[in-house]
Amino acid sequence: MAATKLNFVTLDVFTSTPYLGNPLAIVHVPKSLEDTLSHEQKLKIANEFNLSETVFLHDNEDLDTPIRIDIYMVDRELPFAGHPTVGSGWYLLQSRYPSRETITLRTRAGDIPVVRGNNVGKVQLQVPTNFRIHQPLVHPRVKLLQPRLVAKDYLNGMDGPEPLVSIVKGMTFLLVELTSEEALARLQPSSERITVSAIGDWGHFVGLYAFFQRADGVVRTRMFDGTLEDPATGSAASTLAGYLARQRGEGRHVVEILQGVEMGRRSEISVLVDVGVDGEISTIQLGGGAVQIMEGSLVVPIP
C-alpha cells in the first residue's frame, strides 16, 4: 500500500500565550487528495492528534473563493465549531496570507467570513446561525452525575428546567447557570454524554455548558461532553451569548467569556450579538486570537 505525507500545524486558540487556550491541529489537504482522503482516514488522523477538534484545510490558490475546512472530533464530523474556525481564520490571515484583510471559510454549516480584528493578533468571524431555543429541558441525570454540587449551586435548583439551545442544526447546548464561581469549580466530567431524542437531528451533538455571570460582566464557563472537558468552545460561547442577548433585548451586546481556567488553559472569547427590534438575532460575531505551537508532517496510507 502506498503512502503520502500531509503537512500540519498546531495552534493554541483564544489566547496569545503558548500552552494556554484550546489546542487545534490543522492538516493541509492538497488538491490531489481532495476527493480521495476518506471520512474514515480523517477520523483516524483526528484520533492520532486526540484533541477536541482537528481541521482538514483544503488548499485553495484562489483566495477570492471560499476555503473549505472539515471539522472533526475524534469520533464524528461537526457542521461548525468555534475554535476550529477562529484558529483556521487566524492561521490563514496571520501566517499564510498576511497581506489580506479577509477570507471566507466554507464549513458544513455554511460560509463564514473572517476579518482581522480591531485588536492586533485577533480575528473576528460571522458565525453561521440557525438559532433555535428548544423547550426547556429537565434532565435529572445531568445534575445527579454532579455529586459535588447541591441544589443551591444551581440557579434553577436540582429539579428546574434548563435552556436547551442550538446555534445551528446538530450543534446544541444545555445551558446550566450556577450561583457562584466556586460551584463552577466543583463541576466534573460525567460518565455519560447528553442525548435528547426529542429534538431529532438538532441533537446530533449536545454538550453541557455551565456558566456563572460575574459582577464585572465577565461570564465564566465550562463545557463538558461526557468525559471530555473543552478548554474553549466557540460554538457554545456563541450559543450562550445569543441566548443572553435575546434576554437583554434589542441592540448590540458584547459578551466576554472566560473558559478553561480550571484546566489551566485560560481562554478568552469575545462574542458580539446584534438583536433586532423583533427580538430576534440578526448576527453573531465570534472573536479571538491564536498562537502557533508546532508544525510537521504525518503519514497517510493511500489505497
Q: Which amino acids are annotated catalytic? A: 53
* Spatial distance between the Cα atoms of 40 and 56, rounded to a whole number of angstroms: 13
* Spatial distance between the Cα atoms of 162 and 64, rounded to a whole number of angstroms: 43
Q: Indicate the pairing of strand 251-259 with strand 219-225.
A: parallel
Q: Are 33 and 41 in contact (CB under 8 A)?
A: no
